[in-house]
Structure 1
Amino acid sequence: MAVATEVRPRPDAARPPGAPRKGVILGVLCVALFIAMLDNVVVSNALPTIDRDLGAGVSGLQWVMEAYSLVFAAFLLTGGTLGDRYGRRRVFLVGLSLFTAGSALCALSGSLGVLVGGRVVQGLGGALLMPGTMAIIRHVFTDDAERARAIGLWSGVSGAGLALGPVVGGPMVDAFGWASIFWINVPIGIAGVVLGAVFLPEFAERRGRLDVAGLVLGVIAIGALVYALVEGPARGWASVPVLAAASVSAVAFAVFAVVELRVATPMLDLTFFRDRFVAAAVWGGFAVSFGMFGALFFIGLLMQDIYGWSAAGSGYTGLPATIALMAAAPVAGRLSARYHPRVPLVAGLTLCAVALGGLSLYGVGASYAAYFWVLPVLGAGMGLAMSPVSITVMSRVAPARAGMASATSNTARELGGVFGIAVLGAVLTARLSDSLTDRLGAAGLPAADVRHTVDAVTAGGGGGVGHLGQAPPVVRHASETAFVDGLHLALWTGAAVLTLSAAVVAWLMRPERRAEQPVEPSGPVADTRPVAA
């Protein structure tokens, strides 16, 4: 049974800071968040160069990418809980210091093992600092409308970090080498630590016994699940490592739920989800990441392998989506403050579904001018959907639980992206395999050659289309067409999930009845009023 816990603000948290100081605080938090999100994806364009310099191989390159996201997702809940207990400023600064040190280690690495180790340190640092950014915003911006605008900017920066990764990474690697994408974090991180130590307030420490069992079980459950989802497409869903990881995750989640329902101060208070607004917001965050980041992963392959863009050029083609996202996120904050978070969240999910459906209209040979309109719709949908999730969660939880609540919504987003890549990748690969088999068979290729080509093209979830080399034109055309067939089915699947999610969120976030009150599992009574101007 959850019990109330003591909240002891520090002296400098007794009164909200003035407007200039608030601006500095928000700037420090957003810059730290930007580099943490950027490093989710910025490495992608550096992988060929890393392979040449370190001899990483395909499996090694996978771990350069996956080590960060695996640790980041696994420790997000831990970062939020530690911040709630020991101080959000303290844990934020520790996380930013670790992220900066990990970046330096990556830049200096002369071997694959050291590089992967640096990525692990980066991921741990990112997981510790990210929940604190939202929790500090929850404390500093006390007015509902002001907080909504701050969260809108926070969401825009978060999305921009992900969207700008390919745009920033390609040119930097070409001009300065792959180490530059890590070196750039070091001066930014050092400046962030210094400014954070001076300007960030410390507050809202929870007392009570630390939920060590919950911390350990949460890391195991989420880490094993992410591992299974990331490795499933490459190793095979029936492989021993993937099945073992999935089994460990299932058992750990079950035990975690039992523990969290019994301890006095749980790491994740499951009664949060009795509040239908919180449940809807968390699901909305999961759904937009499922549909969008899952689809974006394969859209990059479409741009380069089918439409012929270079790595840097592919990143530049996404700028309309990035600009629209950065413009829409603050608008979503204002809409949430003026009306209700349901309005921009449902609109964002719907626009994302429209964008995915729209992209499925174009096949091999489509021009950029033809499908250009999809990109700003895509970005606007993402920007509108991101802010309301955080605004809803932050407005309906006790301040003492802000870090845990932020970590919960961010973990859902992270898992949504991993699920999206795994599930949509499986849909794409299955359809690609069937279509290519039929097309090559109809072209008269021997059965052995058909099997060999299908295996080559479907390796790595469809990435093999770009590596057919000097294959005969009939094979190349059949492979490209089959890939587009598979991508279209994956896009329709993502659009269907987003459309259904928009309907579910609209229903769950319907106006409250007078007698309906938010669930506050622990801590002081939170500001439970609807976000209003």
Structure 2
Amino acid sequence: MNAAIDKPIAPKAERSLLVLLTLAIGFVMAMIDVTAVNVALPDISLNLSVPLTGLVWVVDGYTLTFAALLLAGGALADRFGPKSVYQTGLTVFLLSSALCGTAPSGHVLVGARLLQGFGAAMFMPSSLSLLTHAFEDERTRIKMFGIWSAMVGASTAVGPLIGGVLVHQFGWRSVFLINLPIGVLGIAMTQFLIPATPKHERPLSLISHGLGVLILGALSFFLIEGPNFGWVSVPVISAAVVTIVTTIALVQRERRGAHPLLPRALFETHSFAAINIIGFLFNFGMFGLIFLLSLYLQQKRGADALQAGLQLVPMMVGITVGNLSSARFSARLGMHKVMLAFSAAAALIALIVTVTQLYMPYPLLLVCVTIMSLLVAVAIPAMTTSAMQIAGRAYSSSAAAALNANRQIGALVGVALMGIILHTVHDWNVRLSLAFAIFTVGFGMVSFLVYRFVNVSKPNLSNAA
């Protein structure tokens, strides 16, 4: 009796929350930075004389190295230990944020954004791996994954508002400089709260990682510079050829090589492969939408950075509510039904906007966008939890790296495709209709993939092994 009284539950619960906050702080910081920079784009363009293609590079430069090096980040976490890699990644992110905040030109800013992506690629898979090992009980771990995803989603949601306030009060450079105190806190909390986890030595295939970087670099150049140089110009055609050839080379190397980038067991199940495509499509839609609306509000509707951030609040509240309510929906309906039903409903909303946008007043458009964002936000944590549940603890680092790499590639392609639409179509009504037609197809494909391929009821790969 007395022993029970001497061991209160509160400190343990408080420590769990501190551990969760510590492991989320890096990615929360990165996601705020990703979405906050969207409302700063017009000010960056004006201050540094950056054209439209340059603005796309400011957004996608970060995403490029983030996506291309996430698998390397997962391998480094296994090889050197997730804790040390997590702290190193945060340090790189802080240094590059300082460089972004002091950049004298658009070229320097893009270069610093590439470095930011490298830092994020190091700490992202490490954070999920540390989270997996921090909570032994499976039910607690699933709950923590849900809360972690909700925190990340909420940070994405508040990014435009935070960015708008910072740009309005302190200028666009503050969007990057705000990372410095947050990152220092994250490094310190990790040192004192997070124990080191066992290392799992495995070869680091530098050639395969190099091919991955080359693929995404060439693809980014093709998509971003195509409207600028012309689709049949030598540089753009060369980028397309490099993308195709290096992709074929990487696939062949992964199929036949002794040390693939990802454990082959991960893709022996159709469910995990399908969830990676789903992650691509979700980020394709949501980040493409945020980029599009940020410029729409400022270029078409005449809003400044703060006004744009405020006008995006309903959409972002929808994302936050969706993320926070995801665990409840998943517990009641199951993760499979949540992903299926909510992605189908999001596709339906996107279709309604596509067909009626020309006659739709802005308040109604905002309502539709908010509902669509809420629906997708409910499905994303279910997707993340499903992926980690399928992979099991043995493959947690690699699974997290694979899923988030594909999600970031989706964000990269989504922003680049919106850039193509903005560059080639000059009527905003046509731009919006075309964009939402693409979102309709993307979210519809998610529903099909969930219905046809995703099955989280099978034993995870750890058990199967």
Same fold (TM > 0.5)? yes
Q: Does residue 377 of structure 1 match 2:322?
A: no
Letter in 2 for 1:49: D
Partner of 1:201: 195
Partner of 1:176: 170
CA contact (8 A) 2:38 2:291 kept: no
Letter in 1 for 2:445: L
- CA shift, 1:400, in A, is 3.9
- CA shift, 1:97, in A, is 0.6
Partner of 1:108: 102
Distance in 2 separating the partners of 1:497 and 1:52: 33
Partner of 1:491: 436
If you compute each CA radius of gyration, which structure gives the higher value, 1 or 2? 1
Distance in 2 separating the partners of 1:312 and 1:461: 28
Distance in 2 separating the partners of 1:251 and 1:27: 42
SS in structure 2 at match of 1:407: helix
Partner of 1:448: none
Partner of 1:503: 448
Pick from 323, 328, 334 the counterpart of residue 317 of structure 2: 323
Q: Which moved more, 1:178-187 or 1:283-292?
A: 283-292
> Alpha carbons of 1:297 and 1:24: their partners in 2 closer, same or farther (altered >3 Å)?
same
CA contact (8 A) 1:332 1:387 kept: yes
CA contact (8 A) 2:67 2:405 kept: yes
Letter in 1 for 2:438: T
SS in structure 1 at match of 2:391: coil
Partner of 2:245: 251
Pick from 110, 128, 134 the counterpart of residue 134 of structure 1: 128
- CA shift, 1:517, in A, is 5.3
Cα displacement string for residues 180-222 of structure 1 (whole angstroms, at most 9, x for unaligned residues): 1111100000111111111122224212433222222222223
> Alpha carbons of 1:66 and 1:461: their partners in 2 closer, same or farther (altered >3 Å)?
farther
Q: How does 1:69-218 map to 2 (within 5 A)?
A: 69-218=63-212
Distance in 1 separating the partners of 2:89 and 2:323: 25
SS in structure 2 at match of 1:396: helix
> Alpha carbons of 1:266 and 1:351: their partners in 2 closer, same or farther (altered >3 Å)?
same
Distance in 2 separating the partners of 1:484 and 1:52: 25
> Alpha carbons of 1:489 and 1:59: their partners in 2 closer, same or farther (altered >3 Å)?
closer
Pick from 286, 294, 300 the counterpart of residue 280 of structure 2: 286
Distance in 2 separating the partners of 1:297 and 1:62: 9
- CA shift, 1:143, in A, is 2.9
- Percent identity over the alignment? 31
Q: Which moved more, 1:357-366 or 1:500-509?
A: 357-366
Cα displacement string for residues 428-460 of structure 1 (whole angstroms, at most 9, x for unaligned residues): x4xxxxxxxxxxxxxxxxxxxxxxxxxxxx6x2
Letter in 2 for 1:213: I
Cα displacement string for residues 380-431 of structure 1 (whole angstroms, at most 9, x for unaligned residues): 21211211222112112243431221111111111222333445665xx4xx
Letter in 1 for 2:429: V
> Alpha carbons of 1:226 and 1:117: their partners in 2 closer, same or farther (altered >3 Å)?
closer
- CA shift, 1:144, in A, is 3.1
> Alpha carbons of 1:52 and 1:380: their partners in 2 closer, same or farther (altered >3 Å)?
closer
Distance in 2 separating the partners of 1:194 and 1:319: 32
Q: How does 1:35-46 map to 2 (within 5 A)?
A: 35-46=29-40
CA contact (8 A) 2:157 2:317 kept: no
- Structure having the larger proportion of residues in helix: 2
Partner of 1:274: 268
Letter in 2 for 1:300: S
CA contact (8 A) 1:156 1:325 kept: no
SS in structure 1 at match of 2:285: helix
CA contact (8 A) 1:277 1:509 kept: yes
> Alpha carbons of 1:240 and 1:204: their partners in 2 closer, same or farther (altered >3 Å)?
farther
Partner of 1:8: none
Partner of 1:470: none
- CA shift, 1:231, in A, is 2.8
CA contact (8 A) 1:362 1:371 kept: no
Please, what TM-score do these two structures have when normalized by structure 1? 0.78
- CA shift, 1:129, in A, is 1.0
Partner of 2:398: 404
CA contact (8 A) 1:70 1:223 kept: yes
Distance in 1 separating the partners of 2:250 and 2:23: 31
- CA shift, 1:365, in A, is 7.2
CA contact (8 A) 1:152 1:333 kept: yes
- CA shift, 1:78, in A, is 1.1
Distance in 2 separating the partners of 1:258 and 1:365: 50
Pick from 254, 270, 285 the counterpart of residue 260 of structure 1: 254
SS in structure 2 at match of 1:402: helix
Cα displacement string for residues 159-187 of structure 1 (whole angstroms, at most 9, x for unaligned residues): 33333332222221121122211111000
Please, what TM-score do these two structures have when normalized by structure 2? 0.88
Cα displacement string for residues 290-343 of structure 1 (whole angstroms, at most 9, x for unaligned residues): 233333433334434444444432322222222222222233234435553212
Q: Give me the CA root mean square deviation.
A: 2.7
CA contact (8 A) 1:155 1:387 kept: yes
Distance in 1 separating the partners of 2:285 and 2:175: 28
SS in structure 1 at match of 2:260: coil
- CA shift, 1:235, in A, is 3.3
Q: Does residue 65 of structure 1 match 2:62?
A: no
> Alpha carbons of 1:296 and 1:360: their partners in 2 closer, same or farther (altered >3 Å)?
farther
Structure 2 unpaired stretches of 5+:
1-10
Distance in 2 separating the partners of 1:36 and 1:64: 14
CA contact (8 A) 1:76 1:407 kept: yes
Letter in 2 for 1:489: L
> Alpha carbons of 1:504 and 1:367: their partners in 2 closer, same or farther (altered >3 Å)?
same
Q: How does 1:42-53 map to 2 (within 5 A)?
A: 42-53=36-47
Partner of 1:344: 338
Partner of 1:240: 234
Letter in 2 for 1:252: T
Distance in 2 separating the partners of 1:291 and 1:52: 27
Cα displacement string for residues 75-101 of structure 1 (whole angstroms, at most 9, x for unaligned residues): 111111111221111111111011011
Letter in 1 for 2:84: R
Q: How does 1:438-517 map to 2 (within 5 A)?
A: 460-462=423-425, 465=426, 479=427, 483-510=428-455
